[in-house]
Amino acid sequence: MENHSYQLNYISYASSAELNEEDAKLLVEAREAAKRAYAPYSKFSVGSAILLENGVVITGNNQENAAYPSGICAERVAMFYASSQYPGVKAIKVAVTAFSKAFPVIAPVAPCGSCRQVLSEYEKLYNSDIELILQGQQGSIYRLKNVSSLLPLAFTSDDLS
């Protein structure tokens, strides 16, 4: 028997004032996208902004449906749109933020398991890290070097051969 462990490393910022201009703008785009979310059931609006290597920013937001689980998360909306409209163009950063009409979202919001899996697929496809910038409504921001840091032992195309 062997015992293994995993450690998550990230950088924490007190506010967006500590970010570089590009990252601060990406978070603003994610916040604006969250305002356009369709979240009448959970009242939890999530926005995502993806910076592509060609400089284009793609946004997405969660889209709920009364027939759960027919909705889709902000990160997948944005990534699937980016892939369909800009095939072959790498995503280099993803900002995610959220707010709720029911309660304050204080902690940075991380992608759900399904979104982690989808984002990790694109990291593998392009053999390139996708940096994550995560925030709640305000306050602390987490920066992670890549999606794979949030999804160790991911299921990949290697598992299908």
Q: What pTM value is reported for the model?
A: 0.95
Q: What percent of the chain has pLDDT over 90?
A: 91
**Mean pLDDT calculated for residue range 42-68:** 97
Per-residue pLDDT, 10? 96
Per-residue pLDDT, 102? 92
CATH of domain 11-156: 3.40.140.10
State pLDDT tens for residues 65-97: 999 889 999 999 999 999 999 999 999 999 999
- 75 is a catalytic site residue: yes
Three-state secondary structure readout of 79-131: HHHHHHHCCCCCEEEEEEEEEECCCCCCCCCCCCHHHHHHHHHHHHHHCCCCE
Q: What percent of the chain has pLDDT over 70?
A: 100
Structural domain boundaries of the chain?
A: 11-156
Of 75, 121, 123, 131, the active-site residue reads: 75
